[in-house]
Amino acid sequence: MATKVLSIAQVTFKSYIRSKVVYGLCGIVLLYLLTLTLILFENRAINGSTQFETNFVSISCEMFSFVFLFVSVISSAYLITKEIKERTIIFVLTKPLDSLKYIVGKWMGVCFFLLFTTFLFALPFHIIGLIFFKKFYIYQDFFFATMFIAMSMLSAFVMMLSLKTTPVPAIVFPILFSTKWIGQLINGLSNTEPSGQLLVIGKQIGLPFLYVLYYILPSFEEVTLYPSDIVWGKEFFINYLFTLAYAADITLIYLLVCVYLFNRNKKLLVGSVT
């Protein structure tokens, strides 16, 4: 099973790497690097050294999450609709492959691509940090890792939506949704308000991972953090764990819905291209 899933994931990853998407991303990275440097020089004149560094971390993280959000949504939305449009879905459907393996493989492919994107975006951040502040922001790597998890979860949502019809609602809806919830969650990595609410809702509707976490961490709702306090510590790990559990739950739901939709629409999907 693993061989087939990994093969699909690998092919999906190659579809991004060998497309124009990567050139676009490189362009964004360059722009990001340029903007970051400009902001740094602007701030150097106004603020003191500590504030200057805080601004650098805060601005780069916000920019990163904003760009990354679009990357993950757009790269996931066309994943299956493109297969239908280009008729390569027939290649998949005429192989001894069940829908779960196909969906998992596709999703893993997006995750690999998001990991690659994380690396691509984190690189200028670390380079500038090393040049200007003579620091390598290790704790920020956790931020990027958490963001990756949250974004892969978002990708799962997008894939689910795009599976049924066209990529349009799959692009619009998550952007609206994520700016409110996920974006806030990732940006801050700290805002207890939505996290606490989601944890309680998750527990009430029986999402397994959040349910377990609720009992492991009874003091979770008391945790309060703000963007400037992103540091290595207990609170950081609590937030990290929460995001993980949330991502795992949503992924689980996503997989079940996807398999259902795929089986139900399998004939419809092929019918629409033949």
Partner 1 sequence: MKTISVKGLKKTYKSGFLSKKSTLAVEDLSFEIEEGEIYGFLGPNGAGKTTTLLCLLGLIPYDEGKITIFGEPLFANGHLFSSIGYVPEEPALYGFLTAEEYLLHSALLRGVSKERIKITVEDCLKKLELKETAKRLVRTYSKGMKQRLQIAEAILNQPKILFLDEPTRGLDPLGVKIVRNLIEELAQKGTTVFLNSHILSEVEMTCTRIGILNKGRMVWEGSPKDISKENEGHRILFRLPLGSTLADDFKKVEGSDNVYEIISASSKELFEKIDEIKFCNGEIIEVIPAKRLEDYFIEKVKGNGD
Give the nearer residue to partner 1 in terms of CB position, either 7 or 224: 7
Verify binding: residue 200, partner 1, rule CB under 8 A.
Answer: no
Instruction: Please report, in angstroms and rounded to a whole number, the separation of the first and last CA atoms in the chain.
Output: 29
Least distance in angstroms from the C-beta of 265 to partner 1: 12
- What residues from 142 to 181 belong to the interface with partner 1 (CB under 8 A)? none
CA 153-156-162 angle, to 5 degrees, is 145
Least distance in angstroms from the C-beta of 268 to partner 1: 10
Give the nearer residue to partner 1 in terms of CB position, either 92 or 223: 92
Give whole-number Cα distances, 193 to 62, 181, 184, 221, 234, in Å: 19, 10, 10, 8, 18
Out of 3, 49, 50, 219, point to the residue binding partner 1 (CB under 8 A). Answer: 3
What is the contact mask toward partner 1 in residues 65 to 104, using x (rule: CB under 8 A)? ---------------------xxxxxxxxxxxxx------
Least distance in angstroms from the C-beta of 166 to partner 1: 19
> Which residues contact residue 266 at a Cβ distance below 8 angstroms, ignoring those fewer than 6 apart?
93, 99
Asked if residue 110 lies in contact with residue 21, where contact means CB atoms within 8 angstroms, the answer is no
Distance CA 73, CA 64 (A): 14
The conformation of residue 228, written as its DSSP 8-state character, comes to: G
Give the nearer residue to partner 1 in terms of CB position, either 161 or 163: 163
Rule CB under 8 A: which residues touch partner 1? Answer: 3-4, 7-8, 10-11, 14-15, 18-19, 86-98, 267, 270-271, 274
